[in-house]
């Protein structure tokens, strides 16, 4: 692999067909597909959806990196300046992208509040992920924007966090995120797909989801998971026939 | 007490009358009854229900013990083998029992996914408890199986966990679980009853619940908790009269 | 500031007008106002509402301090005594006040159960906050009393906690709480207002909330957060005009 | 047991003979003796000696309780006041006593620095225990005062800690400490003896130490620990004979 | 790989030549060699030597598994019984082996005390590793037995731990340990070598150590680590020449 | 304060006179001086010296930022490449500077090993600080280079860490570090001085150390800390006289 991948990349648009597929798969399905390619560390551990019924999150990553605050630099006055990168992230994260915030795991101050979430929603940003937490969580839920965090962190951002850089490689909840990597979030949590693998991973994950639908019907009819899940060559052949036959009712 | 208790026991069926009683009591009631017998460490701390509205969990424990995975043994290929104990646990846990998983507290990989939960549900297993977490949590909720975990853990099981033994004594979330011990789970969490005490604990816990119903009516009428809760000999006598009188309305 | 503030104060009644205002503001708004006065550590971190839909919590603090239990002092027999301070707290916490429990962060035993919550509700206490956890959480939710905890902690109180003092200064979830300080809890968490600042903080926080309503309307119409949020002198002037004009529809 | 024990007690002098015995026993021996009396939670977990070669610590507890700091009360100016209880603790802790500091487990600011340690040493205080940490650790080691902490915590005390009370019951590293309770610290850590048990615990612990000396000689000669350690009635009889015989060489 | 490896194996003697080599290499060297074979999780994280100057630890693993204690089974009386597996481990761990204790990470009670350590030393056991801690740490240091732990844990074992099985696969500090696996401990910590790889890993790790000696001499003379460390084909050829030349002084 | 400070700065040389002063003061003294200027968060919490007797660490910060590793980018092959920033940091950190490593708090892989430490020592780098840990700790101690870490972390760096950037603002153990900020490390830990304040902080900290010497002599003679420590205007005047008098013996 070329070393160029370690350099920040402009967030690229996500192929609508790939997005469509990723909207239908689970984060755990994606993680399984990546594991087959040797990627073992792709799920952000400890990061949970803000709302139980928020929509699936899919989009390329646009990153914001925080470091700890310092009292002279992170006054409320400085926070209001026009070049503050926290607010620049809100205005500059591309529509369709996911804002991924590296808060260094800090739960001592807010990674985002409801005004920012409302603005992101309006601008068409897909959602937000932080390894810290938010303030005004109830109002953020009200926006409908799918957001992920560790737990609520209501204190004002400048108390503990300084926004230092936009759209560069970061770590978030123990996972590397390069700009443009594809983020998928569901009720289980958030998975990161290296951007150059997004298309093939989407295909393979969707295939796994469809096979699981087949397996689920058999399980509902009383079949053992041995020889069925995980799939075997025989069960795959059986699945292919079933698909070819138009996915008929499974009989017990 | 005989030393024989430290040896693995075949999970025994739970007396339906005992089960019926335990379906009506809280885990905290059970813990209180056990405390009176000197058992101080019976609640699994940090383990929560997967779903806010899942049914009460009652049943004898059938255990699965994980140790950390090793890359050569825990390949996806080996995971698919017919003698994999993770999947054997799913097929062999007796109907009516509770599958108790000792994941060593690992949240780095999944203790169970939705296909396994669906199979357990079909087989009549009562529920699942782990000191780790699950993948496909939304779909597991969909099965209606009462499940307990620490938090979501979506990565594939072989990334971090190796199934090493079935139905032997284990630790789970800080509590000893011997095969056949009776598990009771409600919205507060999970408590473990040593199997030889299940009958008397069920009786005593149900009695406490009924007394609490009596106390609750008085509290709702404005009575102080002093002399009422915890019960005193006087308030117990009053309760007995009230029961004898057919549990009439409590007057203020 | 006089040193007298470090001495325990009788919980004082909260001015109904102040309470009314604080019922309308977020805990994060309050924290922001306090930050402007130099108070950086006012939100209890890691403390969450017991119920997603419980009412806003506002009231002066009445405190209970626990220390670790000792087997000879914290028998169930002693727990039932008339001078037990855990139960005295339940009977003596003034109506309108908030019972703030310093459990030393212990999750090994319960800070409160449902009988106690029912009694507090009857007595008109505003709610309960602990840096530990509760038992009978479902039943406590049933009372409607707004309660905050770290996570469920169902074991019996005397297993790990000894009630040692009432209504003295305590720490709770990393924040100092002096008797009479004003507690505000919403879905984000719990904030503590030094009692002598309650009136001015309530005014200023309500003002911030109203400004946010103005800002939210503009954001919903597509306006950038720059120059709008946080407020600038210009946007404040615009807001004042808007208020003077009777808060008309915001046009895009 | 009388409830009076729950009230703060003036630190009482420790019988010199008891102190002499406790200087010869290990904290783990003391814990074992207390376990036989039903006390399971007497060792401060996670608290370690500041210096590997500091002398054994023995003395009655004199306590200092901290709560979290508040910026208006815990200015450096207020810290310098004559009624500051942190400094009062340094001047008022009786000679021979152990200063036990309840820092609520905070490692964000110092429980003590070297000037305070030097003053305590001069005043004849036996040593210091905190569930937080110290600043100037190297200089404190230089004083020779036996001190225990969790880890270094160099920031100035008022950054995070407010001294709120002297010589009242506190929790320290998960253990209840009542004024006058006897503290024993060695290289393993710190154990707390309820004051009314100090004499009998000292006797019994010293006896255990002497039996261990007997057992160690046999182990060094190749004897199995079965039937020797823990002691059996037979091995105790053998020990008694050995003592009666003047503790002769143990032959293999 | 055969599934047979997942079954418990009798601890086998370690080839003296392999032991000799492993006594000369660092745990980090071993981990590097294993990483080349795809093993990423072989170092026990958080486990440290009890004594800064204890000898290198090498030997095949003999395991003891603890689960949480239960008050009726883990009385002091039961602890003294002849079939107690904690003491059986002390008497049955083969000479030359390393006793590896799975304490489930519990620091609430002791994994071993000084009497047990003295007996192990006498019996020729190589050392002890636990993911919990010890009591009587100073006296254990006195035996000279190399021991590893997380931190001191002086309370009596039966307070929190029940010995449930000997010489079966366990997890210890996050690493899988199968009986007979080769343990190597130095001042960095403890690494586990799958038993069937011990010979080749020892050879390769020793080779790496010798190359590092070569590299260290060059670094001491001012050479850059680029092209030297990690080794390149060129630097390996240079090393081979240097070895062939009798390892002469390295000139700057 | 100008916003320019938030931009990376080339590490600037440290005035030798300032360095000389900072070699004589404690990290806690520095923290106190910074607190007077409003900086509350300057000590890296949880970071300890690798060796108890390593020299004082003083120098401007040169930073290395890690993010989590990804298997395709962080192969051992890529680790050996000439443009690897981990090794570039070792070769490019200026003589006299301190290498400050932001490992995101990861203890799963090594921030540095002994070959790298030897090279840094040769190159005249002042020392190393990480919020992770090292491998080959004993050999690093042997170099004499003052190093700070959280705890040993021997696994190979590419297992968990990817070097992503050099000499930009980072967070380390909860403290903001801008390139050129002055690092001071002693046995208590590590403090960070904003670069533009180094001169005045050094002066004021040295003054505090000298006053403490005065106070220590009085304490050794039995004087109370009240009116002496912290200093009062009176005690400062007394100190000034004592200095003017040539620092004579302090009489009791």
Whether residues E35 and F156 touch (CB distance < 8 A) is answered with yes
Search chain A and give the residue with CA nearest B106.
A45
**Cα-atom radius of gyration of chain A, to the nearest Å?**
20
For F67, which of A1, A70, A171 is closest by C-beta distance?
A171
Whether residues C78 and D39 touch (CB distance < 8 A) is answered with no
Instruction: Report how many Cβ contacts below 8 Å link chain B to chain C.
Output: 75
Strand partners, D211: none
Q: Measured between CA atoms, how close is A6 to chain B, in angstroms?
A: 25
For E6, which of B5, B73, B174 is closest by C-beta distance?
B73
Instruction: Report how many Cβ contacts below 8 Å link chain A to chain F.
Output: 87
Whether residues A226 and B91 touch (CB distance < 8 A) is answered with yes
Q: Please state the rounded mean pLDDT for residues A67-79.
A: 92
Residue F6 has pLDDT above 70, yes or no: no
Helix (H) or strand (E) holding B20: helix B16-22
Search chain A and give the residue with CA nearest B151.
A46
Q: Quote the pTM value.
A: 0.95
Tens of pLDDT along D35-55? Answer: 999 999 999 989 999 999 999
Tens of pLDDT along F125-181? Answer: 999 999 999 999 999 999 999 999 999 999 999 999 999 999 999 999 999 999 999
Structural contact between residues B141 and B158, judged by C-beta atoms closer than 8 angstroms: no
Q: Please state the rounded mean pLDDT for residues F93-111.
A: 98
Whether residues A212 and B115 touch (CB distance < 8 A) is answered with yes
Distances from the Cα of C95 to the Cα of C121, C143, C197, D13, angstroms: 9, 16, 21, 44
Search chain F and give the residue with CA nearest D76.
F36
Average pLDDT over all residues of chain C: 93
Whether residues C1 and D73 touch (CB distance < 8 A) is answered with yes
C70, C84, C173, C194: best mutation site toward chain D, by most D Cβ within 10 Å?
C70
Q: What's the pLDDT at E76? A: 81
Closest CA to C173 of A152, A53, B186: A152
Rounded percentage of chain B residues whose pLDDT exceeds 70 = 95
Q: Measured between CA atoms, how close is E149 to chain B, in angstroms?
A: 18
Q: What angle do CA E45, E49, E54 make, to 5 degrees?
A: 150
Q: What's the pLDDT at C4? A: 37
Tens of pLDDT along C129-180? Answer: 999 999 999 999 999 999 999 999 999 999 999 999 999 999 999 999 999 9
Residue reference for tokens 């509350």: F40
A226, A231, A239: best mutation site toward chain B, by most B Cβ within 10 Å?
A226
Residue D79 has pLDDT above 50, yes or no: yes
Whether residues B154 and A189 touch (CB distance < 8 A) is answered with yes
Whether residues D155 and F226 touch (CB distance < 8 A) is answered with no
Average pLDDT over all residues of chain A: 93
Tokens, residue C71: 């087997």
The secondary structure of residue D249, as a DSSP letter, is P
Whether residues F115 and E32 touch (CB distance < 8 A) is answered with no
B132, B155, B161: best mutation site toward chain A, by most A Cβ within 10 Å?
B155
Residue A194 has pLDDT above 80, yes or no: yes
Average pLDDT over all residues of chain D: 93
The residues on C that touch A, with CB distances below 8 Å, are 26-28, 31-32, 35-36, 40, 42-43, 45-46, 48, 186-189, 191, 212, 215-216, 219-220, 222, 224-226, 229-230, 232
Residue B7 has pLDDT above 90, yes or no: no
Search chain C and give the residue with CA nearest A141.
C187
Q: Please state the rounded mean pLDDT for residues A164-175.
A: 98
Q: Please state the rounded mean pLDDT for residues A64-89.
A: 92
pLDDT band at F77 (very low <50, low <70, confident <90, very high): confident
Q: Please state the rounded mean pLDDT for residues F14-43.
A: 97
pLDDT band at D12 (very low <50, low <70, confident <90, very high): low
Query: How many residues would you count in chain A?
Result: 252
CB F98: neighbour CB atoms within 10 A?
32
Q: Measured between CA atoms, how close is F135 to chain E, in angstroms?
A: 6
Q: What's the pLDDT at F78? A: 85
Q: Measured between CA atoms, how close is A177 to chain B, in angstroms?
A: 17
Structural contact between residues D188 and D92, judged by C-beta atoms closer than 8 angstroms: no
Q: What's the pLDDT at F252? A: 62
| Low-confidence winner among A4-13, B50-59, D52-61 (lowest mean pLDDT) | A4-13
For E176, which of B1, B68, B194 is closest by C-beta distance?
B68
- C177: preceding bond cis by omega (within 30 degrees): no
Q: What's the pLDDT at C252? A: 62
Whether there are 3 or more C-beta pairs closer than 8 Å between A and D is no
Q: What's the pLDDT at C12? A: 55
* Predicted complex ipTM: 0.93
Residue reference for tokens 């937490």: A133
Write out chain D residues lying below 8 Å of C81, CB-based: 3
B46, B64, B67: best mutation site toward chain E, by most E Cβ within 10 Å?
B67
Helix axes C198-220, A114-123, angle to 10 degrees: 0
Q: Please state the rounded mean pLDDT for residues C198-208.
A: 98
Write out chain B residues lying below 8 Å of A148, CB-based: none
Residue B4 has pLDDT above 90, yes or no: no
Average pLDDT over all residues of chain B: 93
Tens of pLDDT along B137-171? Answer: 999 999 999 999 999 999 999 999 999 999 999 99
Average pLDDT over all residues of chain F: 93
Whether residues E225 and F156 touch (CB distance < 8 A) is answered with no
The Cα D15–Cα D27 span in angstroms is: 19
| Low-confidence winner among B200-204, C82-86, C235-239, F204-208 (lowest mean pLDDT) | C82-86
- Phi first, then psi: give them for residue E151, nearest 5 degrees: -165, 165
Tens of pLDDT along B51-72? Answer: 999 999 999 999 999 999 999 9
Contacts of D4 (CB under 8 A, 6+ apart): none
The Cα A34–Cα A40 span in angstroms is: 7
Whether there are 3 or more C-beta pairs closer than 8 Å between E and C is no
Distances from the Cα of E23 to the Cα of A15, E27, E204, E209, angstroms: 56, 10, 13, 11
Q: Measured between CA atoms, how close is A147 to chain B, in angstroms?
A: 16
Indicate the domain borders of chain E: 9-195, 201-244
Q: Please state the rounded mean pLDDT for residues F73-92.
A: 91
Whether residues E171 and B73 touch (CB distance < 8 A) is answered with no
SS3 E35: helix
Whether residues D91 and F36 touch (CB distance < 8 A) is answered with no
The Cα C53–Cα B134 span in angstroms is: 27
Q: What's the pLDDT at D252? A: 62
Q: What's the pLDDT at E9? A: 40
Whether residues E154 and D222 touch (CB distance < 8 A) is answered with no
Q: A9-195 architecture in CATH?
A: 3-Layer(bba) Sandwich (3.50)
What stretches in chain E show pLDDT beneath 70?
1-12, 252
Q: Measured between CA atoms, how close is D28 to chain E, in angstroms?
A: 5
Whether residues A32 and B156 touch (CB distance < 8 A) is answered with yes
Tokens, residue E6: 């997942």
Write out chain A residues lying below 8 Å of B155, CB-based: 28, 31, 35, 40, 42-43
For C194, which of D70, D170, D176 is closest by C-beta distance?
D70
Whether residues E87 and D225 touch (CB distance < 8 A) is answered with yes
Q: Measured between CA atoms, how close is C40 to chain D, in angstroms?
A: 8
Search chain D and give the residue with CA nearest F226.
D82
Tokens, residue F152: 């040993």
Write out chain C residues lying below 8 Å of A114, CB-based: 212, 216
The residues on E that touch F, with CB distances below 8 Å, are 26-28, 31-32, 35-36, 40, 42-43, 45-46, 48, 186-189, 191, 212, 215-216, 219-220, 222, 224-226, 229-230, 232
The Cα E152–Cα E162 span in angstroms is: 18
Residue C219 has pLDDT above 60, yes or no: yes
Residue D8 has pLDDT above 50, yes or no: no
Name all chains with 3 or more CB-CB pairs below 8 Å to chain F. A, D, E
Closest CA to B156 of B194, B202, B201, B106: B106
């Amino acid at each position: 692999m070329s070393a160029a991948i370690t350099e920040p990349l402009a967030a690229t648009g996500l192929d609508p067909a790939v997005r469509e597929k990723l909207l239908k798969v689970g984060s755990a399905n994606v993680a399984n597909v990546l594991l087959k390619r040797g990627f073992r560390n792709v799920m952000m551990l400890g990061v949970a959806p803000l709302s139980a019924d928020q929509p699936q999150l899919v989009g390329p990553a646009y990153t914001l990196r925080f470091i700890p605050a310092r009292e002279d630099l992170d006054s409320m006055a400085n926070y209001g300046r026009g070049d503050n990168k926290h607010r620049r992230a809100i205005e500059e994260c591309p529509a369709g992208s996911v804002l991924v915030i590296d808060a260094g795991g800090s739960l001592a101050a807010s990674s985002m509040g409801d005004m920012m979430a409302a603005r992101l929603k309006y601008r068409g940003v897909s959602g937000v992920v932080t390894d810290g937490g938010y303030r005004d969580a109830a109002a953020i839920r009200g926006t409908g924007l799918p957001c992920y965090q560790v737990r609520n962190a209501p204190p004002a951002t400048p108390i503990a966090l300084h926004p230092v850089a936009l759209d560069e490689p970061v770590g978030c909840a123990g996972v590397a995120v390069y700009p443009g990597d594809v983020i998928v979030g569901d009720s289980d949590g958030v998975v990161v797909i290296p951007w150059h693998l997004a298309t093939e991973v989407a295909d393979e994950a969707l295939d796994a989801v469809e096979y699981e639908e087949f397996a689920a019907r058999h399980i509902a009819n009383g079949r053992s998971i041995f020889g069925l899940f995980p799939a075997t060559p025989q069960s795959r052949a059986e699945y292919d026939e079933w698909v070819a036959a138009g996915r008929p009712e499974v009989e017990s």
